[in-house]
Amino acid sequence: MSMTETPEGPRKTVYIETYGCQMNVSDSELMYGSLAAHGYTPVEAPDGADVILVNTCAIRENAETRVIGRLGELKRFMKADTIVGVTGCMAQRLGPRLLDQAKHVSLVVGPDGYRSLPQLLDGARSGERFSATDFDLEEHYEDVVARRFEGVKAWIPVQRGCNYRCTYCIVPYTRGAERSRKLDDVVRETHDVVAQGLSEIVLLGQTVNSYNDGTHDFADLLRAVAAVDGIRRVRYTSPHPNDFSDRVIAAMAEVPEVCEHVHLPMQSGSTSMLKRMLRRYSREDYLASVERLRNAIPGLALTTDIIVGFPGETDAEFEDTLSLCREVRFNDAFMFKFSMREGTPAERMPAEWTVPDAVVTERFDRLLATVRGISRENNMTRLGARVEVLVEKVARDGTLLQARSRDFKTVMVPAESAKIGDYLTVELTGTTGATFTGTPVRDRAPLPMASPMASPMVSTTA
Ligand code: SAH
Ligand code: SF4
Ligand code: F3S
């Protein structure tokens, strides 16, 4: 993309590089939208951009190390008047410390400060350097129209912040207290998403199933967004195991658009460890949530997050994590080595609780092998099944298309069989263990009886 002329002169260009979770991806879409409304043109590369923003994550130390390295690299793309800003969770966490550390950075803006970006950029242009990290519990950016880049699905934030205080986690400090958007605002955005030709939405929040706007809970929200004409798939991430009320489970079970997949972070399979993590559930409570979900939703796929090497982790506690994985038989898991974050309660735990790196690595590798093994076995049993997939993008190898089943499996389909944005019915013909290959069995999937589609799919590319 190049600079475009307007009557007021050339439009300035802005490039945003995004790290971290979907919440950050969604925030970048809001920043692009807000800046576009203030005369900026989004561009896809940093080279020569007038404004470069790095939207950062602070969840683990290596996420931050990467950003520090990247900030150095970005210098070579800067023109004399390029403004570099750091946004997101690391900006919130470090504030002015980042300005001291990186002299070519003129702006540091936390997740609740994006509304003032256009003014802050004007200030930076006249040589000022700012750190804006106040929380704003009212801020949902309702008047900002997100500029979406994802081709077929829309991230919709429904809740910001987090009221849990898991002892390892930096998020409550970088995102502030939990607050929910009004249901009507989320529904309005869902209509906008359909008008843009998208039919899948992913509702976002740190403990998204605790959503409550004062009048409506998450069950109401699921029902309301699924009822929007043209919405064919509804997903959400991440729920907390304690916030699955019967109402929420019933909504999942009864609303056909809500996909049969839950990402249910477990963190550990040991009750004593979960207590040190302040997760507020036991191994048995977690299993009970799994059982309630599985009983209500046939064919439910479960994925999870697991931390290895949290302070004080004993061999027995780690074995409990392995055995819970075997018991639940997750379809997949994100696994992390514990990373100590400044200012979290874990920092105040006794130094002798620190698990040596070699032990962490050995446990991590064993967990990885266990999870992958189960996932492979699960996937083998699915061969021959017919599933509906939505084609998301061109696969990395460039010849196949990458599609996604309702239960979140990645399925590669031949490029000539479809285009991005199509729904297909495929037979699962092969698996690498992690992903599938699929052969289309009909041109288009029949419309689900319970959810007539209002508008034909529009194919879009990112
Ligand atoms: N709100 C979500 C998690 C957001 S962070 C939830 O409660 O499920 C995503 C994942 O990062 C967490 O589930 C956890 O597994 C991992 N994580 C968070 N803090 C971490 C830390 N200090 N070290 C290692 N992994 C961490
Ligand atoms: Fe972090 Fe726990 Fe909140 Fe998730 S629920 S964001 S892990 S404090
Ligand atoms: Fe990272 Fe912030 Fe998300 S710390 S995981 S970008 S909420």
Q: Is 405 helix (H, G, I), strand (E, B) or coil?
A: strand
Whether the predicted pLDDT of 55 surpasses 90: yes
Looking only at the bridges linking them, the beta strands covering 130-132 and 159-160 are unpaired
Dihedral through CA 213, CA 217, CA 221, CA 224, nearest 10? -100
Residue ID of nearest Cα to ligand 3 atom 1: 57
Q: Which of these, 171, 174, 251, 173, lies nearest to 211 by C-alpha position? A: 251
pLDDT per position as a tens digit, 180-213: 999 999 999 999 999 999 999 999 999 999 999 9
Structural domains of the chain sorted by starting position, each given as residue range(s) with its CATH number in brackets: 4-132 (3.40.50.2300), 150-259 (3.30.750.210), 386-446 (2.40.50.140)
Residue 335 neighbours by CB under 8 Å, 6+ apart: 305, 306, 307, 308, 364, 367, 368, 371
The CA radius of gyration of the chain, in Å to the nearest whole number, is 23
- Cα 156 to Cα 158: distance, rounded to the nearest angstrom: 6
**Contact between 277 and 286 (Cβ < 8 Å):** no
Q: Give the tokens for residue 385.
A: 């099944």
Query: Is the distance from the beta carbon of residue 171 to the nearest atom of ligand 2 less than 6 Å?
Result: yes
CB-based burial label for 62 (10 Å; 0-12, 13-18, 19+): exposed
Q: What's the angle, vertex CA 77, arms to CA 13 and CA 174, rounded to 5?
A: 75
Q: What is the mean pLDDT of residues 164-180?
A: 97
> For a substitution probing ligand 3, which of 56, 89, 133, 155 has the most ligand atoms within 8 Å of its CB?
89
What tokens appear for 245 in the block? 């009320």
Distances in Å between the Cα of 416 and the Cα atoms of 150, 440, 447, 460 are 22, 10, 22, 16
pLDDT at 370 over 90: yes
- pLDDT at 98 (0 to 100): 96
Q: Ligand 1, from 173, 244, 336: best to mutate by most atoms within 8 Å of Cβ? A: 336
Ligand 1 centroid from CA 169, angstroms? 6
* Eight-class DSSP state of 312: T
| 154 vs 131: CA distance, rounded Å | 30
User: What confidence tens digit (pLDDT) does each residue in 428-447 have?
Assistant: 999 998 999 999 996 555 55
Most ligand 3 atoms within 8 A of CB, residue of 59, 159, 166 to mutate? 59
Contact 391, 420 (CB under 8 A): yes
pLDDT at 443: 53
**Contacts (Cβ under 8 Å, ≥6 apart) of 67:** 19, 54, 56, 57, 86, 90
91 lines ligand 3 (CB under 6 A): no
pLDDT of res. 251:
98
Atom of ligand 3 nearest to the CA of 56: 6
Pick the atom of ligand 3 nearest to 19's CA. Answer: 6
**Band of pLDDT at residue 417, cut at 50, 70 and 90:** confident
Query: Has this prediction a pTM greater than 0.75?
Result: yes
- 165 CA to centre of ligand 3 in angstroms: 15
Q: What is the pLDDT of residue 451?
A: 41
171 within ligand 3 shell (Cβ under 6 A): yes
Distance 57 CA to ligand 3 centre (A): 5
Q: How much is the pLDDT for 458?
A: 34
- Lowest mean per-residue pLDDT among 48-52, 164-168, 443-447: 443-447
Give the confidence band of 3 by pLDDT, cuts at 50, 70, 90. very low
89 lines ligand 3 (CB under 6 A): yes
Q: What is the mean pLDDT of residues 164-168?
A: 98
